[in-house]
Every structure is written in C-alpha cells, then in structure tokens.
Amino acid sequence: MHVIAADSLRDLITGTFFLTLPGVLLLSWITGRLLGVRRSWGTTVAAAVLGWGGGVALSFVIASDRADPAKGFTRNIFLFSALGVMSMSVWLELLARPGTLAKAQSGFTSIPRPLRALRRRGQRVSRYAQITRIAMRNGLGPGLGLARQDDDAVDGKAPLARRLRHALEEGGGMFVKMGQVLSTRPDLVSPTVADELSHLQDHVAPAPPDAVRELLQEELGAPVDEVFAEFDWEPVAAASIGQAYRAQLHGGQPVIVKVQRPGVGEAVERDLQVLDQLAHTVEERTTWAADYGVVELTTEFSDRLREELDFRIEARNAADISANLTDFPNVQVPVVYPDLTTSRVLVMEWLDGVSVRDGDRLDELGVDRNEMAGYLLRCMLDQMLVDGDFHADPHPGNVMVLGDGRVGLIDFGAASRLDPMQQAALRDLMLGVAQRDPELLRQAVLQVATLRRIVEDDELERALARFMGRHLAPGMTPDAAMFNDLLQLFFTYGISVAPELSTFFRALITLDGTLTTLSPGYPTIDEAQKVATEWMRERVTPETLQEAAKSELIRMAPLLRRLPRHVDRLATSIERGNLRARVSLFSDERDVRFVTKLVNRAILALMGGFVGLVGVFLVGTTGGPSFAGETTLYEFFGYFSLFCSVVLIMRVTVAVLHDGLN
C-alpha cells in the first residue's frame, strides 16, 4: 500500500474541503431529484453531510492504494458522495417512522432559525419525557405502550379512572383541558372514567397585572388608561387560557375584557406537539389506540383548542348566534366591540343580571320561572336544529335573567355548528325517541356515525330497543341524562359520532340541568318533544306538502326524461346478450391502502433478494482495487449488499409478524 506524504495529504484535504463542501447541498438536491423526492432542509442537510463524509472517506481509502493518489481523486469524491447521499436518503427513510419524512417534504418554507428551533425542540423533548414519567409513575405505561410497570408507580390496585385523573392533573396545562373534554365524551370513555375526569379543575393563579397590562397595550396599540375610563385589575374569572376583567369605556359603557394569559400560546403549542407525538407512539404500539383512531381524535382536540386561542372566533360565534335570534327578542347576547377585539383580547358588553342559580333574587324579580324555562328551551332547540349555530355550554353560570326580565347568554368560547345532514339526523333521532322506534333511531345514528368495527343492524336495533325499554317505557319520565346512556351504547358497539354531535348531547344535558335549576322539576325531554311536534305540524301542511312535491318533481325531471331511453337500452342489451356490469375494484380507500401495502412489501422482498444475489456475486469476484488489508473494493460492496438484503427482508418479515397473520 502506498503512503501519501504529509504535505500532499494536507493539500488533498484542503483542496477537497474547499472544492466539495460548498457544493454538498447542491449535490444532495441533485440526488433528491434523481430519487424523485422533495425533502425538508433538515433531511437534505443530514443526507448531504453523512453521504459526503462516506464518499470522502472511501475516496481516501482508494487513493492511499495508488502510486498517484491525486489521480481521479476529485472524480471519486463526487461519484461516491452522490452514491452515499442517495444511500443515506434511503436509510433515513428506513430509520424514520413510515411516512414521517414524506409529510415533511416542504422545502424552505421559511428562513431557518437553528438556535430557536433547537431550543424549542429541547423544550418539547423535556416536556415529552416529563409526561411519560408521569404516566408511568401513575401506572399507565403498559396501557399506553410506553414501558413496563414502573416499580415506583402508584398502587396498581387503584382504579384506572383515578390514576388517569391524577396523571392529567400532574401533567397540567392542556392535559387538564383534554381530560375535561374527555369527560364530555361518553361515546369514547366509560361512564366511570367520564365521571372521574369531570372533577378535573384548572388550578391556575391569576397572571401578574404588569404582564396583562403589557399584553393589552401591545394588542390595543395604546395604554390601557387611554382605551378604558376605568379598569378593575382584580379578575372576575381566571382559567388556563384566559382571564376576565371588568372595565368601563370612555363613553360610559360597562364592558367585560377577556385577556389571554401571557405566554400561553407558546405553552399550548408545545403541549399539543407533545400530545401529537404521544398519540402517534401509543397508536403504533397498542391495538386499542389504533381501533379508536387516537391520532385523529388528538388532531380534532388540537384544532379546537387552537381555535380557542383566537378570541376573534369567540366574537364571531357571539355575533352569529345573536343574528339568528330575531324570533327571540327576549334573549340577549352581549354586543362585541370589534375595534377593541384581537386574537388575544375580547371586549364585550357587560350584562347586568342575576344567575339562574340564584333562586331568591329571581323571585325578587317576579319572573315566571316555568315560562322562562320554556322560552329558553325553544331558543336553544331553534339554535341547534334550525340555525345550526348554538351555544355549547349553557350551564347556569352562563345563563342569567336581566333586570328587564329578558334572558342573557354569555361566554361563547364553547360554541358549535351542525351541518344540514347532522341536523336532519338529529331531528330523526328525536323523532325516533318520541315514537319509541328503534329502527328509526338506528338509521338516524348511522347517517352520521363512524363504525370502528362491523356491527350487525339487527343486533344494534335490539340494543336500542332495550335502551328504550329502560328509559322510555310507559309511565317513565325521560330526561336528558339518558343520552349519556345512549352514547355509552355507541361506545360499546364501536360507534363514534362526530364531535359536533357529542357537543350537542352534552349541551342538551347541560341545558337540562340549567332548566331544572331555573324551574325545579321541569320536564325537558317531554317539552322538547312537544316543541318538535309543533314544528312538524307547522311545516307539514297541505301547502308545504304541495310545495315539497313540486320541488321534488322539478329535481327529478331530468331523470324522468332520460328514464325511457335508459330502459330501452337496458332491454336491448338484455335481448342481444350484451349486458355487462362495470365494477370499480379500488373505489374504497381502504382497498387502495391494503393493495399498496401488499405491493410495497412484495417489492421490498424482491429487492432484498436481488440485492442479496448481487452481493453474493461481488463477494465471489476476484481482483479489483484494494479497500482495506486483504479486502477488495468488490468484496466491500458485496458484504454491504448482503447487509442491505438482510435488512430489507427482515423488515418485511417483521411487518408480517406485526400483522399477526403468520
């Protein structure tokens, strides 16, 4: 083996460094085009550095065996670096979670800030480690697929629901918020878990007044004293996302100012990213999480929470609901001041009234509680089943009676929207409950539900009939709480309803509690059925039926015109024996995914076998340039090919074993 002089070696290193390092990113970009992929800048840099380093090292090994080391050295660097970068691109895809890098192929969408990105990533990693330790300490590790039971975990005999609540309380931040949301989803968790999680509370101290003053000045573009004539710095309410203050404008109007807690946006985003990472981990490692679609549920929760961070959405909710109350003049929604409202500050009219939970003061106002409860019920049902935009949290603290006897609704951070299909399904559901018809109830549910597993129609219908027997038998007084049992029935049969429908049921149950607080003993479900019956009578008249028939006939006119021609063609085809049926084999996305997975595994297996044969051929080839000691370059590539072959074949084998089909 030839030895390179120290000066020549230094010149080669210096020349190679300045010749190839500036072009390494360009080389990585070119190889990406050759592979037909667009990668994120992080993946591009990683593949470039690792592939270039391997190419340079291999070029030096070859050069050290030549009499003239510099001959062909630069060519070898570019050749082996290109091969190295492409190889590293493939290995990065193999080492990463399937599909991760493909989702990150967005290129340079913004100017990289490595120090800030590194700091935020460090915070996420630290937070993720903290959450996993909390989960394992509370004995949740095995169920989440994180680790075996921690020796330092709490008593394993403690109920799961209690351990889950303790873990969420320790996690704090948005994990408490997630637990509160889960407590309202009896279609996803058992009644025991839902009841336990309902005790979760936000234990947060008010933000410092100086930080709030600075945020207000930044958002409003002026000092607080210039915008408001008076401002009470003692918050009337404080939660994990925002807190509310009383103030007065210079025109004398009393207002409520809702301010986002300083720094909460970044903390929420960090926790949501940790939650997303945890959801992917749990779904990959446990079967129950995959059945429930935990990643999809987490995404829904994250999207809704990000909406809560933008107070302009709450202002729009209030404006939309207020615009739909023209038929209910005795219901008041606070006026929003759009000029003073931003994504982190919301200024609304202060409604001076009495909470419906304060019975003594209501009696002093001399209002008819039963009549007011009926009016409020009609208003809420109209929002839910007619308008589609409704107040999703009508608990007694958000409903008040004003001094002039009107009903006031406040706090529109929790609002929801139902699309026409969901509204139609809910009307059918209410009709099925009123008529005690399990078949109609099943059809209404399946219009908008997602089945996590195959459910026999007859079996589900019998279960719904038993549900009606428990809650709607003759002589029984139905209440809104029965919808909790209905959602639990869905949970048992693997039926998931859309978040909007779950919000509807929760709002109806909450409304029932408010109505009974306002008027003790108020029969919410019976009155709701009466209202629905009145609506049906008003809408089903000879005039409306005639109009509906005309509309349906107009809609069907094109089909009726084409029907004779289609029948004639069908009869002719049958007579001639030319009747054929066209079947789309891959119309279902699940079929496409299954076949794609099957084909990909077959390709990987064939590729592994082919690369293995190439490796055997190269190992058996004599001669060639020396690589290290008595090993030739052919032998090196042969052994490397055999290694790649084993990895590919073992990857397919492990995937098959994970499917449980072996």
d(CA 360, CA 369): 12
pTM: 0.61
CA quadruple 594, 595, 598, 602: dihedral, nearest 10: -170
Question: Residue 153: its pLDDT value, please?
Answer: 53
Tell me the pLDDT band of 391, cut-offs 50, 70 and 90.
confident
On whether the CB atoms of residues 293 and 300 are closer than 8 A, the answer is no
**Does position 337 have pLDDT exceeding 90, yes or no?**
yes
467, two tokens: 């549900």
188, two tokens: 């996803």
Higher-confidence residue: 145 or 374?
A: 374
339, two tokens: 């000029």
**Does position 541 have pLDDT exceeding 70, yes or no?**
no
Residue 329 is classified by DSSP as: T
Higher-confidence residue: 96 or 206?
A: 206
What is the residue-averaged pLDDT of the chain?
76
Question: Residue 246: its pLDDT value, please?
Answer: 92
Question: Residue 66: its pLDDT value, please?
Answer: 60
Q: Residue 377, class by beta-carbon neighbours within 10 Å (0-12 exposed, 13-18 middle, 19+ buried)?
A: buried
Lowest-confidence region among 73-82, 136-145, 430-439: 73-82
559, two tokens: 């089909």
Domain ranges of the chain: 6-103, 131-204+267-305, 352-540, 545-581, 589-658
Three-state SS at 295: helix
365: CB partners within 8 A, 6+ apart: 354, 401, 403, 405
Question: Residue 106: its pLDDT value, please?
Answer: 44
d(CA 528, CA 385): 11
Region 275-295 average pLDDT: 79
164: CB partners within 8 A, 6+ apart: 138, 140, 179, 193, 196, 197
d(CA 262, CA 217): 12
Only one residue has tokens 């397919």, namely 652
Question: Residue 192: its pLDDT value, please?
Answer: 81
Region 465-482 average pLDDT: 75
DSSP string, 109-142: SS---HHHHHHHHHHHHHHHHHHHHHHHHTT-HH
On whether the CB atoms of residues 391 and 506 are closer than 8 A, the answer is no
432, two tokens: 């099925």
Question: Residue 128: its pLDDT value, please?
Answer: 80
Region 173-199 average pLDDT: 75
Question: Residue 145: its pLDDT value, please?
Answer: 72
Q: Tell me, what amino acid is at 515? A: L
Active site residues: 393
Instruction: Identify which of 128-137, 163-172, 342-351 has the greatest average pLDDT.
Output: 342-351
Q: Which residues pair with 347 in a beta bridge?
A: 257
Region 429-447 average pLDDT: 80
Tell me the pLDDT band of 148, cut-offs 50, 70 and 90.
low
Cα-only R_g, the chain? 34
